[in-house]
Structure 1
Amino acid sequence: MVGRTALIILSLAVGTLLAAQARINAFLAAEMGDGFAAALVVFSLGFTTTVALTLVHPRARAAVRLFLGQLRRGEMGWWICLAGPMAIVGILAQAATVKVIGLALFSIFFIFGQMVSSASIDHFGWVMGRRLRLTPIGLAAVVLALAGVVAASLPRLGNSWASTGVVFVFVFTAGLLMSWQMVLSGSVTAATGRPEPAGLATYVFGITALLMVLAAMLLAGSGTGVIHGLAQVKWWYVAAGILGPVVVLLGAVIIRTVGALLFSMGLVTGQLAGSMLLDFAWPSAGTDFSWGTPVGGAMALAAMIVLKLWGHYPPPAATGPDKSHKVHAD
């Protein structure tokens, strides 16, 4: 079994992938002229990739059958259908609000919601049957991580603080839901022993929600922009369908061991590091290097280390034998 420290380091890598995914999603939304169409393409490609990964692995196929049986018998709650729509909210929030408040302010609001949600999930033990209560030092670590995000974003804020209003509520809610989505995926992984059912559930229910919204938009006469955007799909967009499944599948494995808050901190630190690397290697329009990014990343990394060492009480203890269902290969 992989140790917690190794999984925390892996969460940093997942964070860098998230930074790359955000850059690609923003590019696709601009290329297609519609953020909703881009979300539908990304989810459809992610679903296709996850299906392909499942088909080639016997234990993954067995886990999917186990998951479907749990759904039929009512052993898996209806709440799993919320994982997909929760993931979509983050993509739509980025597409709808970044042009209004800027990427820096979006990141602050989104990560603030993510931190509040993940800290609450761990502290009160709302899911996965384990409480990781915050110590005062742990709370200080959360504040330090948020300060790191602000430090990374401050040089790029400009006058965007003036354009908030209800946008803050929307973006903050998207951040809240991201942690819940990852925790739901972790719960499915714990119940089936594999991450593929969680990934498939996220994409299936997410695509279903997107198609329902698209149908409602078409009935209201306002969905033609989405149809036009989908018509612009190019063959190389397939690359966008790889990062999403990697993030979803790895996150489902990591979060069940390290907890929601430590995983969120790893994502934040990795995103800051990934953003800095992308600014050098793949700069977007108007990108300028900022001193705040490495400073904020260092603050977030320090906060993650403090949280791991002294941030929870009692220390995470073994919960006994793994009660997950054993998955047999074909």
Structure 2
Amino acid sequence: MTKATSTAAVPAPAPRKLARGATTALLVVATVLAGMLSPMQSAVNGALGKAVGDGNSAAVISFGSGLVLMIVVIFARPSTRRQALRIPSLIRSGGIGWWNYLAGLCGAAVVLSEGISVGALGVAVFQIALISGMIISGVVCDRIGVTATVQQPISVARACGAVLAIIATAVAISPSFHVPGAIALAVLPFAAGLLAGWQPAGNAAVARGTGSVLVSIGVNFLVGFIVLGIGLLIRIGTGSATFSLPGTWWMYLGGVLGLASIALMALLVRGLGLLLLGLASVAGQLVGSLLLDLAVPSVGQPVHLVTVLGTVLALVAAGIGMLPSRRKESS
């Protein structure tokens, strides 16, 4: 009798396991879709750069729209308003290292490179170069221990992932090697990706000091907007730039798309964890980039076979780069 009871109870966990698997699958699909917001933002900012004829102006408009939205969100709630108003006292007391407030410069570099190079490179090549830079930066920052409490040694697999990321960028941009300045344009998102590896550490420090992730994101937009704005004002003053606003409403959505991507990733990471979230979001960014270039060729360059190959290589590099290293135990 006992034996029959225990036998009947064995299949019980199966439905729960299936339910967990189905939930994880749905969260992965949601993360892939959320990852597609990044190439959409690149496409919007790239089109904005073309429309206003200046990548710096496009970046200021994009950051400005995101900053306005963040101010509304933060100051609409008494708790986040109080947390935001604590920042001046935290700066004076040195409660948060001043360098952490500069994390917004990393985002500014990404948006600036979007306005300058997406129109010439296309969304797919831009995203491959950006993600490749982020992979290398992530490997190095993990080794130093910048973005985590535990250092990740540079294993053979992680080193191969970093090298593969560089190869992916070279392969993706190869059809444009003959175009003057194409390599320099590809270096912009690659360098922005290298900077972006440190950004989470700065954001996390500001979030801990203020007690709010929203305030941390708001500081990002504020710092980026100020720096980009100062740069634009200097260029206007020297006669090397002009400023104009586009007449097309959707060109103001770059900052909003960036905020939506950050918010969704913050929600989805709770159900997936960092590794699955990272892989799924990179897949969304790369696949979304290809789809955008195919569906809307006016945002950039035609999709070549090597662009698809570069996308696959970058995705494999991301998977390898995200693998945790095995730490040697001290004897």
TM-score of the pair, normalised by structure 2? 0.72
Matched, 1:132 2:126: no
In structure 2, the residue corresponding to 1:76 is in which secondary structure? coil
1:121 partner letter? C
1:98-144 superposed Cα distances (whole Å, 9 cap, x missing partner): 56777666555544432222211111102453323332223333444
Residue correspondences, number = 305
Matches of 1:292 and 1:251 in 2, distance apart? 30
Matches of 1:211 and 1:131 in 2, distance apart? 37
Q: CA deviation at 1:91?
A: 2.6
Q: CA deviation at 1:206?
A: 1.4
Q: Is the 8 A contact 1:110 1:172 kept in 2?
A: yes
Matches of 1:53 and 1:149 in 2, distance apart? 37
Q: Residue 271 of structure 1 corresponds to which residue in structure 2?
A: 285
Alignment of 1:152-301 (within 5 A): 153=172, 157-160=175-178, 163=181, 170-223=188-241, 225-226=242-243, 229-230=244-245, 232-249=246-263, 268-284=282-298, 288-292=302-306, 295-301=309-315
Q: CA deviation at 1:74?
A: 1.5
Q: Residue 71 of structure 1 corresponds to which residue in structure 2?
A: 91
Q: Is the 8 A contact 1:273 1:294 kept in 2?
A: no
Matches of 2:113 and 2:317 in 1, distance apart? 27
User: Residue 10 and residue 133 in structure 1: after superposition, are their counterparts in 2 closer, same or farther (change >3 A)?
Assistant: farther
Matches of 2:325 and 2:85 in 1, distance apart? 37
Matches of 1:276 and 1:100 in 2, distance apart? 15
Matched, 1:87 2:101: no
User: Residue 148 and residue 220 in structure 1: after superposition, are their counterparts in 2 closer, same or farther (change >3 A)?
Assistant: closer
Matched, 1:123 2:128: no
2:214 partner letter? E
Q: CA deviation at 1:178?
A: 2.3
Q: CA deviation at 1:22?
A: 0.4
Matches of 1:181 and 1:95 in 2, distance apart? 20
2:236 partner letter? L
Q: CA deviation at 1:292?
A: 4.5
In structure 1, the residue corresponding to 2:298 is in which secondary structure? coil
Q: CA deviation at 1:146?
A: 4.7
1:116 partner letter? I
The answer to which of 250-259 and 281-290 deviates more is: 250-259
Matched, 1:32 2:52: yes
Q: Residue 326 of structure 2 corresponds to which residue in structure 1?
A: 313
Q: Residue 35 of structure 2 corresponds to which residue in structure 1?
A: 15
Q: CA deviation at 1:269?
A: 3.0
In structure 2, the residue corresponding to 1:157 is in which secondary structure? helix
TM-score of the pair, normalised by structure 1? 0.72
1:73-92 superposed Cα distances (whole Å, 9 cap, x missing partner): 32111113322233222232
1:8-63 superposed Cα distances (whole Å, 9 cap, x missing partner): 87764453211000000011111222222211111110011112222444554454
Q: Residue 328 of structure 1 corresponds to which residue in structure 2?
A: none
In structure 2, the residue corresponding to 1:313 is in which secondary structure? coil
Q: CA deviation at 1:298?
A: 4.4
Matches of 2:182 and 2:252 in 1, distance apart? 35
